[in-house]
Structure 1
Amino acid sequence: RTPPAPAPHHPPNPRRYTHPHRTRTGAAGIAETEPRTGAAGITTTEPAQPTAGTAGTAHTDPERLTDVQDVNDDDLLARAKAWLAEDPDADTRAELARLIDAEDLAELTARFSGTLQFGTAGLRGELGAGPMRMNRSVVIRAAAGLAAYLKKQGHPDGLVVVGYDARHKSEDFARDTAAVMTGAGLRAAVLPRPLPTPVLAFAIRHLGAVAGVEVTASHNPPRDNGYKVYLGDGSQIVPPADADIAAEIDAVRTLHDVPRPGTGWQTLADDVLDAYLTRTDAVLAPDSPRTARTVYTAMHGVGKDTLLAAFARAGFPPPALVTEQADPDPDFPTVAFPNPEEPGAMDLAFAKARETDPDLVIANDPDADRLAVAVPDAADPAGWRMLRGDEVGALLAAHLVTRGARGTFAESIVSSSLLGRIAAKAGLPHEETLTGFKWIARVENLRYGYEEALGYCVDPKGVRDKDGITAALLITELASTLKEAGRTLPDLLDDIAVEHGLHATDQLSVRVEDLSLIAAAMHRLREQPPTTLAGLPVTRAEDLTRGTDILPPTDGLRYTLDGARVIVRPSGTEPKLKCYLEVVVPVAGHADLPAARTKATTLLTSLKRDLSAAAGI
């Protein structure tokens, strides 16, 4: 057998990503966004329907980073044949053999002109043969690199816990990982079946493991899979660990160099899941009401059984299930994309809610680390309104404060500043971090953390990551408490707005085909920073590449205005310029809320218009 020639390492290209929302392409190859009415009557934007990209791919994902190299046809075929010779998977061997026999150079180029790059959240990509796809060969190399890294970190026989979701090939990738760890002299333990990602994050700390791996692509389309890595504190890796692991992966020359025994690792029993469920129940107040009725969708993922068990243990009424989406299905047949934020993804849940008249609708993404919440709204055509992540973040924070929580409240810089006001009023420390739970999880004395993208860490001593199961319990406890008083979640949001001001958030996202347009826009904003936006003077302009007193350097700009805030940054995961907007409108009383919402909508619209002009986009 001829081993594959190791590809020379080059710095990864800009991360290419086309999010599976709706997009339309405007002038100069710039993708625009379509407005829709969001929470509290605020106009928001959604990216438009994906268009096909390279090799028929409609999107790539945040962790789908590729190190692309120029390669001639002879080298391409040689690489493909060498890869085929040691591919352990019959499915991808057959797939690759067909491409080689057909001399399909376009498809082979898409798979062999580089490598899928390991980043801070591991790997994510489309399933298929070759080093630029997710497959057993890529996973074995990744596991070998992680094992080598752990041994160099002083853990020659440490425990590595492996979890997996119900996507295509997930169980195979999990068992390959366990085999590689065992062959490297580490101890491996695999969760007993497909389970939510937060169960894996919990198991790492509960079992005293030195690392964990979750095989999941979260809410990506069905053709994808991923490989998420945690270290011993139960949080995702941050630099420089990602680069160190990537270097060890690059050092793996052939799969023949990687021992993979057929046995020797442990398959965990249900006692780990039972310990997780016990921990989730302990998050609730012992004497709190448990009366709120819910509709639940697992979005074809792995959340259902764990969430139902958690609700039963806590004493909540059993959620009414969206049966069409209740059980794991790697093809996600009822949705275009298995993400609760996607237009249409919640339609079946809302239909079930119209039948059963619950107090709230809850949804997990397929690996159940995120939580979506919807509330009744007669003004919405569906009869239900999805709460924004910032709204749920504020509700959970207010609930924890009411229950006497102590410790630091944290959020990413692109989330609403409302959390800081809630924490300050309660006399609690508050911190902002860079985007991503890998940063939020590392806040000292963290008590609660959230990110606007539906991620909530409500029990950091148990799960030091976002946890859609425990967050669902906590929001249902809050809804029950309010229900007993004849109130609702929107009522509490109104109270929060009166106490702290109406905080309305929105995004302006500009997708480009030419990455130089993003660099040009950032350069223009740095060289000619706006002095006014939406008629408001810019009181402070910060270039975040210089860092701040509390944040390490990052490529971004922050503008502070009287009653508004704007953050502009190139996406680290997609060819897009992202602008996060927030306006704060003082509210004297509940009667002033409608006018405040109208003012907020007007300001957000003006901010988007003026910011687009200032950036030249």
Structure 2
Amino acid sequence: MERDLIAQAKTWLAEDPDPETREELARLIDAGDTTELSARFGGTLQFGTAGLRGELGAGPLRMNRAVVIRAAAGLAAYLKKQGHTGGTVVIGYDARHKSADFALDTAAVMVGAGLKAALLPKPLPTPVLAFAIRHLGAVAGIEVTASHNPPRDNGYKVYLGDGSQIVPPADAEIAAEIASIESLADVPRPSAGWETLRETIVEAYLERTDAVLTNGSARDVRVVYTPMHGVGRTVLTAAFERAGFPAPTVVAEQAEPDPDFPTVAFPNPEEPGAMDLAFATAREAAPDIVIANDPDADRCAVAVPDPESVEGWRMLRGDEVGALLATHLVHKKAQGTFTTTIVSSSLLSHIAAAAPGADYEETLTGFKWLARVDGLRYAYEEALGYCVDPEGVRDKDGITAALLVAELAAELKESGRTLTDLLDDLAVEHGLHATDQLSVRVQDLSLISDAMRRLREQPPTVLAGLQVSSAEDLAKGSEALPATDGLRYHLAGDAAGEVSGARVIVRPSGTEPKIKCYLEVVVPVASAIALTDARARATEVLAAIKSDLSRAAGI
């Protein structure tokens, strides 16, 4: 076994095109480090609807140039079988370690396969890539990014010609093409032949952002902004300037792209501590709102003043921002389908039901599903992703979402109100829809499958004193939803009428080693005066559900 492992590693070493990973692998072979070699050669990174994502390093279970070249060759073969020979593939990349190398390798493979390749001119937000696919009439697009993952990771996200991410069966068909590649020597990689796009593609994206805002609407809003060491700053500040908003105050320590993300444990606005520097800047600058993008700027986080908080600021949940943006679009008389995912708040369904010309639909988690809804006008997912201009970007877009949030905050400010005031109005009108998440990061992935098995074998009947009125195994699929690894529980309200109902969804994360439990409690609110008590009751019930569910799942 050990001899086979060493032989496998030597075979990989012989065709690895990257001097850095060759040196790294040679050291492991020379040291006879079979534990580490097993971790890298015990399988291959699996290509799925999210493309590829993993830790950087040598070997088939890591992200590296050899893995990317195979992935690019598999995608090229798939596209040609779909009749797209000679079509254009647009390639974008962020500022992570190796992103530019992976993008260049992809361009070379596409040209070598007889396709045209167009490379974005520099590290840019993922939404610019998603826009460019539709704008240029490309047959596919690739974004090299690991989004908000830790610094040691990178990834490879694939879009098809409609500008939306891949869904089954395309993922399996591409994976089969990747698996059929026997040697990198079989993959032609010319040293030239692709086009590097000019800055005009960024200008075209910025021109498209005009469609998001209403001519003559309010613009007086002060913003503190952090790109979280990512690539969002230049595009976002240009978009704000173009729209006529005051220049945001940028968090200086996080303003420049840095693949090591030195000021945060995880470059994700949702993670504890990630917004500390933004809040510190806000205490000095006294803005109306704080806005953050994740490193590839496809997500948008918003914080509002909160005198009761130690930081003086409160992060809005993705569901709260989702409801605010939906309400703003309804007020702008937007028509079409408003959609969100099964793990997001049900509040959007009530907002859409009360709006003339608005339909509502739910999908599985991820914009790969949301973007495919017929008649789409607005989509969001609770993980800070919002699509506010589906004709321009058929994916989540943290830049245009930030513009729309700023417009809403400015309009409210003009009438002496705030985002918090509008959230209160929604709670009184539709009931307080309080959401929370139980998210557990693991080192051993078997802990996730064990928890899912435990819940399937012994489903809870009561959570937080509320009866489980229905338990649904989403792996079985339905007419409304394709099969997915997840569990959904609906909980009845309490006898006192203090809780209208609750919902719990449990699923493994598709991009990180986490099990995620999405919780929602709905509490009726008779008037604004009752909001404080309603929030206290919702917080109490959510905490109890977390505790009971954690016990039931063994996490």
Q: In which range does the TM-score fall when normalised by the shorter chain?
A: over 0.9
Equivalent residue number for residue 383 of structure 2: 453
Equivalent residue number for residue 34 of structure 1: none
Equivalent residue number for residue 319 of structure 2: 390
Q: Tell whether 2:118 aligns with 1:189.
A: yes
Matches within 5 A, 1:524-563: 525-526=455-456, 529-560=459-490, 561-562=492-493, 563=500
SS at match of 2:354: helix
CA–CA separation in structure 1 for the residues paired with 2:339 and 2:7: 51
CA–CA separation in structure 2 for the residues paired with 1:416 and 1:390: 6
- CA shift at 1:534, angstroms? 2.7
Equivalent residue number for residue 104 of structure 1: 33
Matches within 5 A, 1:118-157: 118-157=47-86
- Cα pair 1:568 1:577 within 8 Å, conserved: no
- CA shift at 1:612, angstroms? 4.2
CA 1:542/1:113 → structure 2, altered by over 3 Å: closer, same or farther? closer
- CA shift at 1:510, angstroms? 5.0
Query: Which amino acid is the alignment partner of residue 374 of structure 2?
Result: E
- Cα pair 1:141 1:249 within 8 Å, conserved: yes
Indicate which of 584, 587, 603 corresponds to 2:525: 587
Equivalent residue number for residue 331 of structure 1: 260
Equivalent residue number for residue 497 of structure 1: 427
- CA shift at 1:516, angstroms? 6.4
Equivalent residue number for residue 166 of structure 1: 95
How much identity, in percent, do the aligned residues show?
Answer: 74
Query: Which amino acid is the alignment partner of residue 253 of structure 1?
Result: E
Superimposed CA distance per residue, residues 228-278 of structure 1 (whole angstroms, 9 cap, x where no aligned partner): 111111111111111111111111111111111111110001111111101
- CA shift at 1:577, angstroms? 4.4
Superimposed CA distance per residue, residues 18-51 of structure 1 (whole angstroms, 9 cap, x where no aligned partner): xxxxxxxxxxxxxxxxxxxxxxxxxxxxxxxxxx
Superimposed CA distance per residue, residues 300-344 of structure 1 (whole angstroms, 9 cap, x where no aligned partner): 100000001100100000000111111111111111211111211
Equivalent residue number for residue 92 of structure 1: 21
Query: Which amino acid is the alignment partner of residue 609 of structure 1?
Result: S
Query: Which amino acid is the alignment partner of residue 237 of structure 1?
Result: I
Q: Tell whether 2:280 aligns with 1:351.
A: yes
Matches within 5 A, 1:72-87: 72-87=1-16
- CA shift at 1:100, angstroms? 2.1
CA 1:568/1:514 → structure 2, altered by over 3 Å: closer, same or farther? farther
CA–CA separation in structure 1 for the residues paired with 2:35 and 2:121: 40
- Cα pair 1:407 1:445 within 8 Å, conserved: yes
Equivalent residue number for residue 497 of structure 2: none
- CA shift at 1:129, angstroms? 1.4
Indicate which of 322, 327, 332 corresponds to 1:403: 332
Q: Tell whether 2:410 aligns with 1:480.
A: yes
Q: Which runs of 5 or more residues in structure 1 are unaligned?
A: 1-71
- Cα pair 1:111 1:131 within 8 Å, conserved: yes
- Report the more deviating stretch, 241-250 or 92-101: 92-101
CA 1:178/1:320 → structure 2, altered by over 3 Å: closer, same or farther? same
Equivalent residue number for residue 43 of structure 1: none
Superimposed CA distance per residue, residues 70-93 of structure 1 (whole angstroms, 9 cap, x where no aligned partner): xx2111211222222222112112
Indicate which of 252, 265, 274 corresponds to 2:194: 265
Indicate which of 265, 268, 271 corresponds to 1:342: 271
CA 1:528/1:260 → structure 2, altered by over 3 Å: closer, same or farther? closer
RMSD of aligned residue pairs (Cα, Å): 1.8
Query: Which amino acid is the alignment partner of residue 529 of structure 2?
Result: A
CA–CA separation in structure 2 for the residues paired with 1:514 and 1:173: 28
- CA shift at 1:535, angstroms? 3.0
- CA shift at 1:508, angstroms? 2.8
Equivalent residue number for residue 536 of structure 2: 598
Query: Which amino acid is the alignment partner of residue 344 of structure 1?
Result: G
CA 1:544/1:113 → structure 2, altered by over 3 Å: closer, same or farther? closer
Query: Which amino acid is the alignment partner of residue 401 of structure 1?
Result: V
Could you tell me the TM-score, scaled by structure 2's length? 0.95
- Cα pair 2:509 2:515 within 8 Å, conserved: no
- CA shift at 1:107, angstroms? 2.0
CA 1:614/1:281 → structure 2, altered by over 3 Å: closer, same or farther? same
CA–CA separation in structure 2 for the residues paired with 1:571 and 1:264: 41
- CA shift at 1:591, angstroms? 0.7
CA–CA separation in structure 1 for the residues paired with 2:175 and 2:2: 27
Query: Which amino acid is the alignment partner of residue 567 of structure 1?
Result: V
Equivalent residue number for residue 223 of structure 1: 152
Query: Which amino acid is the alignment partner of residue 239 of structure 2?
Result: A
SS at match of 2:191: coil
CA–CA separation in structure 2 for the residues paired with 1:466 and 1:292: 23
- Cα pair 2:343 2:505 within 8 Å, conserved: no
Q: Which runs of 5 or more residues in structure 2 are unaligned?
A: 494-499
- Cα pair 1:199 1:273 within 8 Å, conserved: yes
SS at match of 2:245: coil
CA–CA separation in structure 1 for the residues paired with 2:551 and 2:502: 17
Query: Which amino acid is the alignment partner of residue 566 of structure 1?
Result: R
CA 1:321/1:615 → structure 2, altered by over 3 Å: closer, same or farther? closer
Superimposed CA distance per residue, residues 86-108 of structure 1 (whole angstroms, 9 cap, x where no aligned partner): 22112112222222222222222
- Cα pair 1:556 1:567 within 8 Å, conserved: no
SS at match of 1:115: coil
Superimposed CA distance per residue, residues 160-200 of structure 1 (whole angstroms, 9 cap, x where no aligned partner): 00000011111111011000000000000000000000000
Equivalent residue number for residue 568 of structure 1: 505
- Cα pair 1:564 1:581 within 8 Å, conserved: no
Query: Which amino acid is the alignment partner of residue 82 of structure 2?
Result: Q
CA–CA separation in structure 1 for the residues paired with 2:461 and 2:24: 57
Q: Tell whether 2:538 aligns with 1:609.
A: no
- Report the more deviating stretch, 95-104 or 115-124: 95-104
SS at match of 2:175: helix
Equivalent residue number for residue 363 of structure 2: 433
Equivalent residue number for residue 27 of structure 1: none
